[in-house]
Structure 1
Amino acid sequence: MPLTLTRTPTIYSLNQLDADEPGCPLAALAGAKGVLSTPEKAVRELAGGASLLPLYTFPSADGFASKKVRSFGSFQDLAGAGASPGAGPAVPDVDEEGALLGTSDDDALSLDGSSDSGTQVVPQRSVLDALLLGEWEDRAEAGLFRYDVTACPTKLVPGSYGFIAQCNEGRLSKKRPTEFRIDQVAQSFDDGKFNFKKALQKEVLFMFEPAARRITKPAFQPAAAPRTSPSLVYINVSPIEYGHVLLVPRVLDDLQQLVTPDTLLLALQFAREADNPYFRLAFNSLGAYGTINHLHFQAYYLAAPYAMERAPTAPLDPSWGLGTGADGPAAASANPGKARRRGSTGVRVEQLAEYPVRTLVFEAGDSLQELAELVGTACQRLTAANVPHNLFIADCGARVFLFPNCFAEKKARGLIPEDVLETQVDPAAWEIAGHIVLKRQEDYDSVTQASAWHLLEYASCSEQRFGEVTRLALEGLL
């Protein structure tokens, strides 16, 4: 029996929320619904100033309202709870078909990935969380999606890493094909090809903007006039999972699919405002299976830990000679087990260990701004060097994974074996993070941890190349 990932109350629509719940921050939103004054017009027509869209505004203050808690714990925490060091993360026991062992059908994956005999860990609702899902369900009822993603079977792949597999045949037959070269990360914006200005306004859920004045809590307006170039949240009409949306910064500015510190900060703030560890964001550059050359981040809900989140981390190799000063090469050599940190707020920088794709891991200290500056600058450097890359944003914006993606290059050189090519899966951020979206039923039926690992390792660069890319991305920044 395939594993069913039990939905939590965080993904109910607005009209299902209990507005009378004591202390519920969503009481003021009960019954609220966004208003689109011109839903059948294209987004590009917002420039005329005659349309109204829903508006979510958030406090622009930096940092976290409270000390963050890593959503699914660290490998070291798991090792103390029965995992063997070096054996990979601990996950629930499953049978050969991915069903949980020793649990009833009513058991759900708890926040740390375990089953707790009917006890579910439910993240506190946030205003953005409820608004996004209420509006997303409204678009689903209106029939705006190309297929019903809730009908796609999903299961936990047996093994120590807990990869999640989904069979989504609609992603093969109904997803928009890429229109861009795969060997060039930076490409000029082409208004003639698909971009998010061409989408209809009814695909927009709301505008996402920092408040123009000082506020301490987020606010929602059902209808507001957009500024010159608003940042918008769209539905993904070819969704991977429940609540799949796109965050498009400054939609009318014709931004290429390139990350910068300021646009990454907006994505981190989006994750922080959602305040739900089941909600992650991802970015795919061109050449790393980004298919639209108009800046956007993807986001959706998955009520289970990703394999990447559960993988162990290790300090950066001191031989790479990164950084200067008290925490520079000499200090790293003297303390080879010490994680690299940057600045007074202490962004922590490590690398994944024992994972099929070599990856850098950034963890915020007290400042989202500093995290965005460091990772955004690293992405700009990779772009300048024409290195395709992906981002995966977890822990409500506090943790960012950055990985160069070599799959397209190896595919062009004929280095991918036929059994991998036959799956027609080109691993981008979600697959590499551990949510394997398979496009054929036979691949879904036969997927194993070994086959998932085999697929993903072709996206990884060599150890030597990873060191070169890391030095290129981070030299002088730490």
Structure 2
Amino acid sequence: MLSIKRVPTVVSNYQKEEGGEVLGGGCGRNCLKSCCIQGARLPLYALKRVDKVAEKELPLLGCKEHCSVAFLDSLILGEWEERMQRGLFRYDVTACETKIIPGEYGFIAQLNEGRHLKKRPTEFRVDKVLQPFDETKFNFTKVGQEEVLFQLEASDNGEAQFSPNAPIDVENSPSFVAINVSPIEYGHVLLIPRIFECLPQRIDHASFFLALQMTVEAGNPYFRLGYNSLGAFATINHLHFQAYYLAMPFPIEKAPTKKITKLSDGVKVSKLLNYPVRGLVFEGGHTLESLANAVSEACICLQHNNVPYNVLISDCGRKIFLLPQCYAEKQALGEVSAELLETQVNPAVWEISGHMVLKRKKDYDEASEANAWRLLAEVSLSEERYEEVTALVFQAIASVDLSVKPQCAEEVDSVSSGTQPAMVAGSQQCLVLQ
């Protein structure tokens, strides 16, 4: 068994200081378990049906002045800020120092000393991507109801709807959006699909489609959603995604790509070029569901083949990065240098995307593109292993799409370094149910 010791991230105020277990017995804490959930009510947002991600209608630089704020975007930020005013977070993330590291890619460094203070390292198994759910460990049914922002589901009639005080239908296991009490950035939330089914940390088609729908409907290119598998620095084995706002482009979003193939349902699959972590990029598709299915099929393949990975959904759901990695495995085998280990940086989806969350002032002051590149190069699979893994992925996709034919023609799509995403986009249309 391969394992590493790391400081676990505290995502809820009901996690124990050591081992990630729950404080107390559950009753009287206003939690989400049967002892407290009966009769509870929470806001409910029903997602509208979106068949396809809309093309960008306005130049990115001009969109800020012309686009209205999407209702879901306002809901997330409004509820998150209310929890901040109530003092539910472990520290004020808005006070964390942040800077853009000089260089071609503009890696982003944040000094976040509050994420690991007074925490003891815990042992995590890193050689099994698929592990059974363990009720005795901390899971999201043990969070306080005050940490939940709202329930999230698909609309029955295809139109967005919002109810500010809806009952919780435990039997149908709703999905929840909750705060991360150790935020990396402004608006840092957790999406927990079908929470009462107690699903382990593994992607399935339905949960990934929900995550993609949420990103699309938020309608804000600065709102990105990420996923970490077990073995790729997920520390809670209860299915969840993370998302937050950062008002600048991620370096990975600026990396050039080379087209590999186009599926019969219109999904284009490319590979990253000139970036320290090797990965695939999915975009397009005749429908939103076809894009979600292609990515989730690839994720399921990696899970079944025990390959740890991270996923980033960016550009309002138009672009999805799939990033197999091996840093934790190297760490467990003693193949990572002491210098990198001393930084205590856990390269999960945000770090791989270029947002380096640093815990020591020394590392922040000395942050450079070379240092960021050196860390992420250790995360990436070797060229040989990457080719083996992507062959498995395309084989899995081909089993459901017989049109998969890798193309040899050079087709490199680079994102202009001068392009800045618009801060807000979308529409305000939403039926509010009283």
- Shorter-chain TM-score category? 0.7 to 0.9
Q: Residues 393-447 of structure 1, C-alpha deviation per residue, up to 9 Å, x if partnerless?
A: 1011121100111101111122111211111102000000010000000100000
SS for the counterpart of 1:183 is: coil
Please, which runs of 5 or more residues in structure 2 have no aligned partner? 1-26, 405-434
Q: What's the secondary structure of 2:116's corresponding residue?
A: helix
1:5 is matched with none
Aligned to 1:313: 257
**1:211 maps to 2:170:** no
Relative to structure 1, the CA distance from residue 122 to residue 161 in structure 2 (aligned partners, 3 Å threshold; closer, same or farther) is farther
- Corresponding letter in the other structure for 1:343: S
* Separation in 2, partners of 1:236, 1:123: 28
| Deviations 1:265-294, CA, capped at 9 Å, x for gaps | 000000011000000000000000001000
Q: 1:289 aligns with which of 233, 245, 253?
A: 233
- Indicate how the Cα distance of structure 1 residues 176 and 232 shifts in structure 2: closer, same or farther if over 3 A, else same: farther
* Whole-Å separation in 2 of the counterparts to 1:166 and 1:156: 9
In structure 1, the residue matched to 2:41 is: 52
1:124 shift after superposition: 3.0
Q: What corresponds to 1:350 in structure 2?
A: 270
SS at match of 2:141: coil
Match of 2:426 in 1: none
- Give 1:81's aligned residue: none
> 2:30 aligned to 15, 24, 41, which one?
41
Mean Cα deviation higher: 394-403 or 352-361: 394-403
Cα distance, 1:51 vs structure 2: 1.0
- Structure 2 partner of 1:75: none
Measured in 2, the distance between the counterparts of 1:400 and 1:123 equals 23
Partner residue of 1:225 out of 139, 144, 167: 167
Q: Measure how far apart 1:380 and its partner are.
A: 0.8
User: Could you tell me which amino acid in structure 2 is paired with residue 152 of structure 1?
Assistant: C
Please state if 1:447 is matched with 2:367. yes
Task: Provide the residue aligned with 1:429 in structure 2.
Answer: 349
RMSD: 2.2
Residues 57 and 47 (structure 1), Cα distance of their counterparts in 2 relative to 1, 3 Å cut: farther
Partners of 1:169 and 1:282 in 2: CA distance: 22
Aligned to 1:13: none
**Would the aligned equivalents of 1:207 and 1:231 in 2 still touch at CA under 8 Å?**
yes
Cross-structure match for 1:182: 126
1:122–1:296 distance in 2 versus 1, CA, 3 Å? farther
Whether 1:67 aligns to 2:55 is yes
Q: Structure 1 counterpart of 2:200, which letter?
A: Q
| Correspondence list, 1:322-337, <5 A | none
Query: Which residues in structure 2 correspond to 1:336-375 (within 5 Å)?
Result: 340-344=261-265, 346-375=266-295
Check whether the contact 1:246–1:296 (CA below 8 A) recurs between aligned residues.
yes
Measure, in 1, the Cα distance between the counterparts of 2:303 and 2:65. 40
What is the deviation of 1:181?
Answer: 1.1
Aligned ranges 1:248-263 → 2 under 5 Å: 248-263=192-207
- 1:404–1:121 CA distance, 2 compared to 1 (3 A): farther
Question: What's the counterpart of residue 216 of structure 2?
Answer: 272
Partner Cα separation in structure 1 for residue 312 and residue 346 of structure 2: 16
Q: 1:46 to 1:154 in 2, by over 3 A?
A: farther
Q: C-alpha distance in 2, partners of 1:164/1:294? A: 29
2:330: which partner in 1? 410
Separation in 1, partners of 2:304, 2:279: 19
Letter in 1 for 2:285: G
State the Cα distance separating 1:364 from its structure 2 match. 2.4
Q: Which moved more, 1:391-400 or 1:294-303?
A: 391-400
Contact 1:307 1:433 in 2 (8 A): yes
**Whole-angstrom CA distance in 2 between matches of 1:55 and 1:152:** 32
Report the residue type matching 1:472 in the other structure: L
Q: Name the counterpart of 1:468.
A: 388
Candidates 333, 336, 358, aligned match of 1:438: 358
Cα 1:251–1:307 shift into 2, 3 Å: same
By how many angstroms is 1:182 displaced? 1.3
Among residues 290, 313, 316, which one is paired with 1:396 in the alignment? 316
Q: Is the 8 A contact 1:181 1:287 kept in 2?
A: yes
Give the deviation of 1:314 after TM superposition. Answer: 1.1
Structure number with larger C-alpha Rg: 1
Aligned residue among 243, 247, 251 for 1:299: 243
The DSSP-based 3-state class of the residue aligned with 2:202 is coil
Matched AA of 1:44: K
Deviates more, 1:46-55 or 1:258-267: 46-55
Closer, same or farther: CA 463–367 of 1 in aligned 2, 3 Å = same
8 A Cα contact 1:350 1:360, kept in partner: yes
1: distance between equivalents of 2:319 and 2:57?
Answer: 11
DSSP-derived class of the 2:88 partner? coil
Alpha carbons 2:224, 2:245 under 8 Å: kept = yes
Equivalent of residue 340 in structure 2, options 411, 420, 425? 420
| CA separation of 1:221 and 1:211: change in aligned 2, threshold 3 A | same
Structure 1 segments unaligned to the other structure (5+ residues): 1-37, 73-109, 113-119, 317-339
Given residue 351 of structure 2, which amino acid in structure 1 is its aligned partner? E
Give the secondary structure class of the aligned counterpart of 1:409.
helix
Whichever residue aligns with residue 41 of structure 2, its letter is L
Contact persistence 1:68–1:398 (CA under 8 A): no
* Number of aligned residues: 370
Amino acid at match of 1:196: F
Q: 364-373 or 275-284: which moved more?
A: 364-373
Q: Aligned pair in 2 of structure 1 residues 271, 39: CA closer, same or farther (>3 Å)?
A: farther
Query: Which structure carries more relative contact order (alpha carbon 8 Å, separation 6+)?
Result: 2
Q: 1:263 to 1:177 in 2, by over 3 A?
A: farther
* Among candidates 450, 458, 461, match of residue 378 of structure 2: 458
Cα pair 1:175 1:238 within 8 Å, conserved: no
Structure 2 length normalisation: TM-score?
0.81
Identity %: 52
**In 2, are the aligned partners of 1:71 and 1:395 still within 8 Å (CA)?**
no
Residues 417, 179 of structure 1: alpha-carbon distance in 2 compared, 3 angstrom cutoff:
closer
